[in-house]
Amino acid sequence: MTTVLIVIAVFVAFLFVMNLWTRKITRRGLETVPQLGQITPVHGGSIHYVEKGNPEAQTIVMIHGLAGQLQHFTYALVDLLADDYHVIALDRPGCGYSTRDMAELAQLPHQAGMIAEFLDKKGVDRAVLVGHSLGGAVSLAMALDHPARVAGLALLAPLTHKLPETPAIFKPLEIRSEWMRSLIGNTLAVPLASKTAPHTLSAAFDPETPPDDFLDRAGGALGLRPSAFVTASQDVTGVDASINAQVARYPNLTVPGGILYGRQDAILSPPLHGPTMTEFGLSYEELDGFGHMIPITEPEICAAFIRRMTEAATSPQTSLQDKPSEQA
């Protein structure tokens, strides 16, 4: 009995120390990446966003991917487009400085609904959605559930179909118990993530090289928080639970747009998530030599693509079907 009590005491002490370490890393992350914009409450949470450009111009709304934040777009893309458009980059519900009240809200229709409510409150009508990775799936959910609010889609390496399996770097997020997410998030996850960050970033950016300023300028330090781990874990299971129903509705997709992929994407399979969407009216372009994180590594190419999609979606004289289907 004494041995059991000693083991329990040691384990509790270990968790306590890890929690203290987690709090220290979290404080450092919040200091490194402070809140950039404004926060608007919506049902089920709140949306943190930044906006730039002419409010009277066409609105472009940028939605980031799994374990990301709006700095993936403010890194370069927002500035490249703000001279000609009204650009809003937001933290998905639960990410960055946005909030989400419950795990169920991670499912694609709920995330889309929260962002649609945010756009209503902002008075934004007929936006072009730029969705990267998981943000692409959320953008498609908005196009299906709120088509009158979406003028077009410019999707960057989007998730469009159910994954055969979770990418290796996101495997630790496959936790379906909320209390277990909270326990791991507040003890083990953040210190481990801080130690493995170079490997994780290398895998995410492969075959390209992560920028040296990813943790601050691209907001990566915000991922070193318990809430970021919990939200990302909820996203993994929430998307898995809702993506098949969304795929079944793609024949009803009426919003025009296109998809841009890096051919060497190491996170999502371009053949699975890209050209498969052409039968539903989206164009497809592919870049040789580039990976998954093209909004950060290739912002000029992405900005040109977004411009083409925006012009095609908002000009009745232009058809997306006239655009080239592949870019070498």
| Cβ proximity of 145 and 115 under 8 Å | no
What's the average model confidence in pLDDT over 110-128?
Answer: 97
| Cβ proximity of 139 and 158 under 8 Å | yes
What is d(CA 244, CA 21) in angstroms, rounded to the nearest whole number? 39
Cα–Cα nearest to 292, from 132, 139, 140: 132
What is d(CA 92, CA 112) in angstroms, rounded to the nearest whole number? 9
pLDDT of residue 4: 74
The least confident of 12-21, 48-57, 144-153 is: 12-21
What is d(CA 250, CA 323) in angstroms, rounded to the nearest whole number? 21
The least confident of 18-22, 43-47, 177-181, 205-209 is: 18-22
Task: Kindly tell me if the per-residue pLDDT of 261 is higher than 90.
Answer: yes
What is d(CA 314, CA 197) in angstroms, rounded to the nearest whole number? 41
> What CATH superfamily classification does 2-318 receive?
Alpha/Beta hydrolase fold, catalytic domain (3.40.50.1820)
pLDDT single digits (tens) 239-259: 999 999 999 999 999 999 999
pTM confidence score = 0.94
Which residues in the chain belong to E strands, given as ranges? 38-42, 45-53, 59-63, 86-90, 99-100, 127-132, 150-156, 257-262, 282-287
Percent of the chain past pLDDT 90, that is, above it, reads: 88
The residue type found at 216 is: D
| Cβ proximity of 166 and 236 under 8 Å | yes
- Chain centroid offset of residue 254 CA: 23
Task: Kindly tell me if the per-residue pLDDT of 149 is higher than 80.
Answer: yes
- Higher local confidence (pLDDT), 10 or 154: 154
Q: What angle do CA 213, 48, 100 make, to 5 degrees?
A: 110
The residue type found at 259 is: I
What is d(CA 147, CA 253) in angstroms, rounded to the nearest whole number? 8
Which residues in 197-279 belong to E strands, given as ranges? 257-262
Q: What angle do CA 256, 43, 140 make, to 5 degrees?
A: 20
